[in-house]
Amino acid sequence: MAVQSESFDVAVVGGGPIGLACAWRAQERGARVVVLDAGEPGAWHVAAGMLAPVSEAEFGEGDLLQLGLESARRYPAFCAGLEDPGLRSVGTLVVARDSDEAAALDRLAEFRRGLDLPVSRLRPSQARRLEPALAPTVRLALEIESDHSIDPRKLVAALARVVDVRRARVTGLRVAGERVTGVLTADGVVAAEQVVVAAGVDVARLDLPESARVPVRPVKGQVLRLRDPRGPGLVERTIRGEQAYFVPRGDGRYVLGATMEERGWDRMPTAGGVYELLRDMSEVVPGVFELEIEELLAGLRPATPDNVPAIGPGALDGLVWATGHFRNGILLAPVTADLVASVLNDEALPDWAAPANPQRFAGVAA
Amino acid sequence: MAVQSESFDVAVVGGGPIGLACAWRAQERGARVVVLDAGEPGAWHVAAGMLAPVSEAEFGEGDLLQLGLESARRYPAFCAGLEDPGLRSVGTLVVARDSDEAAALDRLAEFRRGLDLPVSRLRPSQARRLEPALAPTVRLALEIESDHSIDPRKLVAALARVVDVRRARVTGLRVAGERVTGVLTADGVVAAEQVVVAAGVDVARLDLPESARVPVRPVKGQVLRLRDPRGPGLVERTIRGEQAYFVPRGDGRYVLGATMEERGWDRMPTAGGVYELLRDMSEVVPGVFELEIEELLAGLRPATPDNVPAIGPGALDGLVWATGHFRNGILLAPVTADLVASVLNDEALPDWAAPANPQRFAGVAA
């Protein structure tokens, strides 16, 4: 690795989209930044990459919604600065299979309209004109043209081209008194004025002083990565059902996800998880059965007790958190990076970022 | 490879269980034998390895049944000569989910009894005492204690330890007049007095004189290879349903198979294939949903027009066929090897082997 003899303004722990985006924004503001990553892809490698703040935030999660809306708004400009980040500006259909689900969709439509967000209510025949692969049994659909998607693997590759990423297994932080002075790795110390911890769920395994920790636990999500041997066109839009979503990449590839399972660090795909995803999506898009399975895999979402991430200064000087993004790591990358860059430059954060303050967890166990 | 300068009594094309077993038996009878294999695992790598001649042979396939019974009878002695061939002498339960399937089981039971093969008819409560993981909805079960299984990957590894296997991509046969004089490979010629072609479905891609071909086509079979993180014990016996089977390896691993699909050379697992296997077996053993998916894969069975393999002399002198084993390549390995060894030694074959005579296909296109 050979960074021990160097010294940085900022060391970022974790080379997923959050860490890379934070590094990029910090670097743009003049800092000398290094990203340290163990080379084992995190949740982003599994993620579908939906940019859908409203449908991802549950009712009652207003704080998270606010962060999501801020980040979605920033996404086009964020991507404009990157080469081939995999942004796909095609909308989403949320579909209902029965009257209960249709009632839930009507509540979602009303909620979006209350936020002045565009949404169209489509009868089944209208929905099937847009997406002929939808099952005839679909009862109702909402078209949300502004809910786009991005390919997280392309995003990470694009970000990794603009920042300095080095292979290192981070084991903890170097602390002097109440101040972080660098990062401990398997190969030695990397000195840095400030440290951004963006290691996703792996923050739970870092050796940190108890007072400086944030409580993050893994929530397993299984996905199938599918491919249509006939090429693209089965569906153009992201299709969301009650239990599963189906995100087209535009090249005949699709991500079908995702389970939500509290199973510790287990990352094995299971027969039951795969079965349920296929069953639920095939009721909405029967053509999924014709697709080839390219990959079965599971990722670990970093969940906090209140589902809101931890973004901001930690309990030690020089420590900045950017973790706990749960289901929203891809969506929240731009806003997280902007907030972290502000913290690194000693600027006050906007009020809407207060719910993400990591210090709300002081004394809370994971 | 460096075998071009050598010369052999027998060259065997294909290092799957059929080719290896043929080589082993030929070698035991004094021949100098080489097995040429491209190193890309064939159908055996996917196969579950059931040794179940009666339930595999459909009604009306009496010729195939006879071959299967002969081979099953030879299996214990065959395995006794090998180190760790993966034989598992635990029986099979064939289960019915409804009255139609129960009627079919009663016909199977009668058929087996007519062949003097042991079979026990079990009420649901009796079946569930033997295998508590069976669904309460099972209507009837047959216990077939003599239907065992073998791990084809262990079998191939065991056979490969006792014969001379060399890596070579065989492209065709060397023919002089009406006589085969060796094998053409990507790296040169391997001279041999006699050539056994045991290349599974790949025989369809060998460059052979039209008159000497046997018609073999690929029939795709998808399987899931599953693992119970809690260890062995979900089921002890092979469980066969109408559409799917579930074969325990005894170490917490299971093979769930298999689809039957006419899709040419396509070997990709599909969402529909995986879904149907999981649905069908979960109706019989609901606990499959708890298992981890270690591998999804598909193999290509080498099928002939009449489902009976091609075992015996070909249309050229020195050419011996051992292919077209369709669903039965593992079961039929011992009997195929014995028959091929007889042919190589100019012995007449028994009458019951006549249906497998490759020359029945003279003039038949694949």
Q: Which residues contact B113 (CB under 8 A, 6 or more apart)?
A: B119
Tokens in use for B157? 């590894």
pLDDT in tens, B26-35: 999 999 999 9
Closest residue to B293, CB basis, from A271, A290, A294: A271
pLDDT-derived band at A112, boundaries 50, 70, 90: confident
A45 or A117: whose pLDDT is higher?
A45
Are residues A292 and B268, on separate chains, in Cβ contact within 8 Å?
yes
Contact yes or no for B275 and A272 at CB 8 A = no
Task: Please name the residues in contact with B48: beta carbons below 8 A apart, sequence gap of 6 or more.
Answer: B149, B152, B223, B245, B247, B255, B257, B258
Q: What is the pLDDT of residue B111?
A: 87
| Six-digit token string for B60 | 């009306």
- Contact between chains at B271 and A289 (C-beta distance less than 8 A): yes
pLDDT at residue A78, rounded to an integer: 98
Residues of B in contact with A264 (CB under 8 A): none
Q: Where in chain A is the domain with CATH 3.50.50.60?
A: 7-45+154-213+305-361
Cα distance between residue B273 and residue B256, in whole Å: 11
Q: What is the pLDDT of residue B228?
A: 98
Name the band, by pLDDT with cuts 50, 70 and 90, for residue B179.
very high
What's the pLDDT tens digit per position in A136-166? 999 999 999 999 999 999 999 999 999 999 9
Q: Return the percentage of chain A with pLDDT > 70, whole number.
A: 97
* Phi, psi (degrees; rounded to nearest 5) at B223: -135, 155
Closest CB from B269, B271, B289 relative to A288: B271
Task: Work out the minimum CA distance from A230 to partner chain B, whole angstroms.
Answer: 13
Alpha carbon B274 to chain centroid, angstroms: 21
Mean of pLDDT values over A339-345? 98
Number of H helices, E strands in chain B: 8, 19
Asked whether the predicted pLDDT for residue B365 surpasses 90, the reply is: no
Q: What is the pLDDT of residue A4?
A: 59
Q: Does residue B8 contact residue B190 with C-beta atoms inside 8 Å?
A: yes
Residue from the list B224, B269, B288 with its beta carbon closest to the beta carbon of A292 = B269
Whether A356 contacts A308, CB under 8 Å? yes
Q: Give chain A's contact residues with B (Cβ, < 8 Å).
A: 224, 226-227, 229, 256, 266, 268-272, 274-275, 278-279, 282, 288-294, 296
Tell me the percentage of chain B whose pLDDT exceeds 70: 97
pLDDT at B4: 59
Where along chain B do the CATH 3.30.9.10 domains lie?
Answer: 92-145+218-303
Q: Which residues pair with A13 in a beta bridge?
A: A36, A197
Angle between helices B333-344 and B62-80 (to 10 degrees): 90
- Encode A320-358 in three state secondary structure: EEEECCHHHCCCCHHHHHHHHHHHHCCCCCCHHHHHHCH
| Beta-bridge mates of residue B68 | none
Of B272, B278, B293, the CB nearest to A290: B272
Find the chain B residues whose C-beta atoms sit closer than 8 A to any C-beta of A.
224, 226-227, 229, 256, 266, 268-272, 274-275, 278-279, 282, 288-294, 296
The torsion angle over the Cα atoms of residues B341, B343, B345 and B347, rounded to 10 degrees, is: 120
Parallel/antiparallel/unpaired status of strands A92-96 and A238-240: parallel
Answer whether residue B55 shows pLDDT above 90: no
List the end-to-end C-alpha distance of chain A, in Å, as a whole number: 32
User: What pLDDT, on the 0 to 100 scale, is given for residue A114?
Assistant: 87
Strands B253-257 and B217-227: antiparallel
CA distances from A363 to A66, A179, A200, A214, A358 (A): 26, 19, 20, 9, 11
Architecture of domain A92-145+218-303: 2-Layer Sandwich (3.30)
Whether A271 sits inside 8 A of B224 (CB atoms) is yes
Q: Do B292 and A282 touch (CB under 8 A)?
A: no
Q: Which two tokens stand for residue A132?
A: 């002929």
Query: pLDDT tens for residues A233-266?
Result: 999 999 999 889 999 999 999 999 999 999 999 9
| Tokens found for residue B279 | 């649905």
CA distance B270 to chain A (A): 4
Chain A nearest C-alpha distance from B360 (Å): 37
- Rounded to a whole number, what is the distance in Å from the CA of B277 to chain A's nearest CA? 10
Q: What's the pLDDT at A279?
A: 97
Residue A284 has pLDDT above 90, yes or no: yes
Output the average pLDDT for chain A.
Answer: 94
Q: Mutate one of B235, B270, B280, B285 to test the A interface: name it (highest A CB count within 10 A).
A: B270
- Per-residue confidence (pLDDT) for residue B3, from 0 to 100: 53
Q: Are B195 and B188 in contact (CB under 8 A)?
A: no
Q: Do B292 and A269 touch (CB under 8 A)?
A: yes
Looking at residue B244, what is its pLDDT? Answer: 96
Among all chains, which residue has been given the structure tokens 């590094």?
A: A23
Cα–Cα distance for residue pair A62/B261, rounded to 1 Å: 50
Q: Average of pLDDT values for A347-355? A: 96
Cβ contacts of B293 on chain A, cutoff 8 Å: 268-271, 274, 296
Most confident listed range (A48-62, A107-121, A210-224, B274-288): B274-288
**Span B7-45+154-213+305-361: which CATH code?**
3.50.50.60
- Per-residue confidence band for B207, with pLDDT thresholds at 50, 70 and 90: confident
Task: Tell me which of A293 and A5 has the higher pLDDT.
Answer: A293
B279 contacts A272? CB cut-off 8 A = no
pLDDT of residue B203: 92
Q: Give the best residue of A281, A293, A297 to mutate against chain B (max B CB count within 10 A).
A: A293
- Bridge partners (DSSP) of residue B148 are B51
Q: What is the pLDDT of residues B219-237, one digit of tens each?
A: 999 999 999 999 999 999 9
Cβ-nearest to B296 among A256, A290, A296? A296
pLDDT, tens digit (0-9, with 9 covering 90-100), for A169-182: 999 999 999 999 99
| Contact: A270, B292; criterion CB under 8 Å | yes
Contacts of A282 in chain B (CB under 8 A): 271, 275
Interchain CB distance below 8 Å, A270 and B289: yes
- The C-alpha atoms of residue A175 and residue A180 are separated, in whole angstroms, by 4
Q: What are A303-325's pLDDT values in tens digits?
A: 999 999 999 999 999 999 999 99
| Res A97 pLDDT > 90 | yes
